[in-house]
Amino acid sequence: MKLSNFINGEWQEGEATYTAVLNPANGEQLAEVRMSTKEDVDTAVKAAVNAQKKWALVPAPKRADYLYEIGRLMKERKEHLAQVLTKEMGKVIEEGRGEVQEGIDMAFYMAGEGRRLFGETTPSELADKFAMSVRAPIGVVGLITPWNFPVAIATWKSFPAIVAGNAFIWKPATETPMMAYEMAKIFQEVGLPPGVANVVFGSGSEVGTAMIEHEDVKVISFTGSTDTGSKVAELGGKHLKKVSLEMGGKNAVIVMEDADLNLAVEGILWSAFGTAGQRCTACSRVIVHKDVKKELETMLLERMEKLTIGDGMDESVKVGPVINKNALEKIHSYVQIGKEEGANLVVGGEILDNGDLAKGNYYAPTLFSNVKPDMRIAQEEIFGPVVSLIEVDSLEEAIEVNNGVKFGLSSSIFSRDVNKIFRAQRDLDTGIVYVNAGTTGAEIHLPFGGTKGTGNGHRDSGVAALDVYTEWKSIYIDYSGKLQRAQIDTE
């Protein structure tokens, strides 16, 4: 199967270079994807510019009707989409279904915005004058999405863009283009006007750069690594783009001495090893009170040894492969760094290549203990199934350690003490805080994003996402019949 671009409602034809899409569970080739050029981006942007002019004039509730249809089709195809997702990305099928559900939820939620898109009315300084502000569409927006959530993150960006009256160019990650292809088919089937939704496959350096540099692309919404994100911000700044960035995390679960330890272990396992640790929200540090450190470590070890690892299409598997060989090597190199730094490797720390596992990219769930907060394994994003246990003496110290990293996406605290809980939710410097739950599992109707190096102040999903895809327009209507001058004293 050859995946080509979806531009102006059609599948782009003609000569092009293609690259292989591999199943991370077994190395099999699933498809080939077009490596597009700057010219392809230009074609897509032209189509989007034309389409957007008319799209902006379609009443928002009618624009939303397309989202209801998109959501309905996604629901109808949920199992198929989940399987495609698991094959191309590797997450276990239960999580594949969960991610598709996240996209469905986003469709219906944003469709509801078609009947809200609230603006504000405000009193005017002057008599017989009406003042209001409304959300106006921005134009053509560029969406750059990562491989770890090939569909959900795209829905966080494209659905608010659609309902707000924009057209978009979406560049999915080259590792996971098949979900974008499936979504493009859905956009086509629901009859979204040609040019409103465009998918251009290819590399960040060619396609991403062309999108950011294009003068007709007004907004860039990016989710991905911190390294790439800062390049996007730099280039976007040069071209005076509105840039929304969601990048890394170094998320921690705090376990206090009064916590329900069984619950905490469940929370840690799910948020550290689900998606093989490849979530921006994944737990990669456990900050534990010294009184329960030993017990927690023993309980974690016991449960980690029972985690089933393998192809995520097998319903009994809990931890799937990581995305590719490069990721495998990066994770393994962090484990070497941890050992050299003097952390104690409790379990894991190896590439798994016995039998069938050798065909895929599998890393053993790994636990380090006696980790010091300033070690590199406790500071840098590893993006794999590796967790560091850090011991602390108090809630104050736990919060300090939690906040002592350059990222600020998600954090969590397990405690039964209401005072500790309220203090923690106030003082944890992350965009998302969980109490008595792991660090993953954000719901789509709340703002998603983080503080410090995680982002640049914008939010995906939730009603806050509309701020990325709309421009505030202030409107003054003077019905006095005379020229009234604001700020000028008149008798």
> For binding to ligand UN1 (CB under 6 A), which residues are involved?
102, 148-149, 153, 279-281, 440-442
Please identify, using beta-carbon distances, which residue of 55 and 448 lies nearer to ligand UN1: 448
Q: Cβ of residue 320: shortest distance to ligand UN1, in angstroms?
A: 15
In sequence order, which residues have a C-beta less than 8 Å from that of residue 11 and are 6 or more positions away?
4, 5
- Whether 291 contacts 257, CB under 8 Å: yes
Q: How far apart are CA 293 and CA 368, in angstroms?
A: 12
Torsion-angle region of 170 (φ positive above 0: left; ψ -120 to 50: alpha; else: beta): beta
Please identify, using beta-carbon distances, which residue of 119 and 441 lies nearer to ligand UN1: 441
Please identify, using beta-carbon distances, which residue of 8 and 271 lies nearer to ligand UN1: 271
In order of 206, 249, 334, 405, the CA distances from 362 in angstroms are 30, 22, 15, 28
Q: Cβ of residue 461: shortest distance to ligand UN1, in angstroms?
A: 9
Please identify, using beta-carbon distances, which residue of 279 and 459 lies nearer to ligand UN1: 279
In sequence order, which residues have a C-beta less than 8 Å from that of residue 312 and are 6 or more positions away?
25, 86, 90, 91, 92, 93, 95, 96, 320, 321
By three-state DSSP, how is residue 206 classified? helix
Q: How far apart are CA 440 and CA 448, in angstroms?
A: 11
Q: Cβ of residue 239: shortest distance to ligand UN1, in angstroms?
A: 25
Q: Cβ of residue 244: shortest distance to ligand UN1, in angstroms?
A: 14
In sequence order, which residues have a C-beta less than 8 Å from that of residue 118 and are 6 or more positions away?
135
Q: How far apart are CA 477 and CA 66, in angstroms?
A: 33
Q: How far apart are CA 63 and CA 68, in angstroms?
A: 9
Please identify, using beta-carbon distances, which residue of 137 and 450 lies nearer to ligand UN1: 450
Q: Cβ of residue 58: shortest distance to ligand UN1, in angstroms?
A: 30
- Whether 147 contacts 139, CB under 8 Å: no
Q: Check 99, 246, 381, 391 and give the catalytic one.
A: 246
Q: How far apart are CA 26 and CA 360, in angstroms?
A: 4
Q: Cβ of residue 257: shortest distance to ligand UN1, in angstroms?
A: 27
In sequence order, which residues have a C-beta less than 8 Å from that of residue 266 and are 6 or more positions away?
438
Tell me, yes or no, if 380 is annotated catalytic: no
Please identify, using beta-carbon distances, which residue of 40 and 102 lies nearer to ligand UN1: 102
Q: Cβ of residue 264: shortest distance to ligand UN1, in angstroms?
A: 18
Q: How far apart are CA 59 and CA 329, in angstroms?
A: 51
Please identify, using beta-carbon distances, which residue of 26 and 145 lies nearer to ligand UN1: 145
In sequence order, which residues have a C-beta less than 8 Å from that of residue 123 and are 6 or more positions away?
131
| DSSP-assigned beta bridge partners for residue 407 | 452
Report the half-sphere exposure of 194 (CA within 13 A, side-chain side): 11
Please identify, using beta-carbon distances, which residue of 163 and 442 lies nearer to ligand UN1: 442
Q: Cβ of residue 218: shortest distance to ligand UN1, in angstroms?
A: 24
Report the half-sphere exposure of 67 (CA within 13 A, side-chain side): 29
Report the half-sphere exposure of 16 (CA within 13 A, side-chain side): 21
In order of 14, 104, 107, the CA distances from 171 in angstroms are 19, 20, 19
Q: How far apart are CA 25 and CA 328, in angstroms?
A: 12
Please identify, using beta-carbon distances, which residue of 272 and 343 lies nearer to ligand UN1: 272
Spell out a b/e string for 73-93, using b for 16 or more CB atoms within 10 Å of the CB, else e. Answer: bbeebbeebbbbbbbbbbbbb
Q: Cβ of residue 410: shortest distance to ligand UN1, in angstroms?
A: 7
Q: Which of 187, 199, 204 is nearest to 107 (CA)?
A: 187
Q: Which residue has the tokens 């195809």?
A: 77
Active-site amino acid positions: 246
